[in-house]
């Protein structure tokens, strides 16, 4: 009982210190405003893609998946993190603490993997335009989306199950992750997709420059022939 009273006193003193910091609360208000903007913007994208049939294309399905991910980030992760930062203590259950870790990892990994899928779609559209429609069809796109969400869920479960969570209210809801698991998941869910995205867009940039140079040379040749004929 004495430990509980001491923890509660520590929380109250911490809350009083936070109350004196106006910048602290102003930054959290800005985060909540940003969360509302994220929700509204991505909700418009989701409604547009679902409602208008002409937008039912493989590329837009990938954008729809990314919009759903970002919408959930704005609706769950940002407000939840803001509430935790405003509250000096964590009085909720152990299950909710675990759920917070699941949503954080799931949505962050899903967002990165969706961006990776979009970069792959753009690569085939720019670098292989003649075979783009045959390779990147609706079935292939839905498969990429399913794989992205499945891997994200798997990563979040591994992090949450293998991590160690503290239930001490005075220290808040924290999830401590074993070094091996955190390193492996970080490499698979962030570093490798980031390298793939950077490499693909660098390749797209090189191909686009080469195509622009080819078009410029062709136009120059046409102008020379036209001037010679005139």
CATH number of 49's domain: 1.20.1070.10
Residue recorded with tokens 């937008």: 55
SS3 174: strand
b/e for 26-56, b at 16 or more Cβ within 10 A? eebeeeeeebeebbeebeebbeebeeeeeee
Which pLDDT does position 159 carry in this prediction? 78
Q: Which residues pair with 112 in a beta bridge?
A: none
- What is the C-alpha to C-alpha distance for residues 186 and 114, in angstroms, rounded to an integer? 16
Please tell me the total count of domains within the chain. Answer: 1
**Could you please report the per-residue DSSP string of 11-36?**
HHHHHHHHHT-HHHHHHHHHHHHHHH
Would you give per-residue pLDDT tens digits along the chain (230 residues)?
433 334 444 454 444 444 446 776 777 788 889 999 999 999 999 999 999 999 999 999 999 999 999 999 999 888 777 766 665 555 455 666 677 778 888 999 999 999 999 999 999 999 998 999 999 999 999 999 999 999 999 988 887 776 654 445 455 565 555 557 777 888 888 899 999 999 999 999 999 898 888 887 777 666 665 556 65
Q: What is the pLDDT of residue 173?
A: 61
Specify the pLDDT at position 28.
Answer: 77
Rounded CA-CA distance 83/64 in Å is 28
CA angle at 17 for the pair 15 and 18, rounded to the nearest 5° = 65
**Shortest CA distance to 77 belongs to which of 95, 97, 100?**
100
Structure-token match 């009273």, residue found = 5
**Is-contact 139 216, C-beta < 8 A?**
no
The pTM (predicted TM-score) of the whole model is: 0.80
**pLDDT tens by residue, 128-155:** 989 999 999 999 999 999 999 999 999 8
Residue 114 neighbours by CB distance under 10 Å = 25
Cα separation, 79 vs 66, whole angstroms: 19
Q: Phi/psi class of residue 99: alpha, beta or left (left: φ > 0; alpha: ψ in -120 to 50)?
A: alpha
Would you state the pLDDT for residue 1?
Answer: 40
pLDDT of residue 5: 36
- The CA-based dihedral angle spanning residues 83, 84, 85, 87, taken in that order and rounded to the nearest 10 degrees: 80
Its domain, for residue 142, covers 2-229
- What tokens does 125 get? 């559209």
What is the structure's pLDDT at 12? 47
């Amino acid at each position: 009982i004495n430990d509980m009273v001491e923890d509660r006193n520590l929380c109250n003193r911490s809350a009083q210190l936070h109350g004196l910091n106006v910048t602290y609360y102003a930054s959290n208000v800005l985060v909540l405003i940003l969360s509302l903007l994220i929700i509204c913007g991505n909700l418009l994208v989701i409604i547009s893609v679902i409602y208008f049939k002409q937008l039912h294309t493989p590329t837009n399905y990938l954008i729809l998946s990314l919009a759903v991910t970002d919408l959930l980030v704005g609706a769950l992760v940002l407000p939840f993190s803001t509430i935790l930062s405003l509250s000096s203590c964590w009085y909720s259950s152990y299950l909710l603490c675990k759920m917070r870790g699941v949503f954080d990892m799931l949505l962050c990994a899903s967002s990165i993997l969706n961006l990776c899928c979009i970069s792959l779609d753009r690569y085939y559209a720019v670098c292989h335009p003649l075979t783009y429609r045959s390779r990147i069809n609706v079935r292939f796109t839905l498969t990429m989306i399913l794989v992205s969400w499945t891997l994200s869920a798997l990563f979040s479960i591994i992090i949450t199950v293998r991590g160690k969570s503290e239930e001490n209210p005075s220290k808040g809801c924290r999830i401590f992750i074993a070094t091996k698991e955190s390193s492996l998941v970080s490499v698979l869910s962030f570093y490798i997709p980031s390298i793939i995205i950077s490499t693909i867009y660098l390749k797209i940039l090189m191909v686009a420059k080469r195509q622009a140079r080819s078009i410029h040379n062709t136009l120059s040749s046409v102008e020379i022939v036209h001037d010679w004929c005139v």
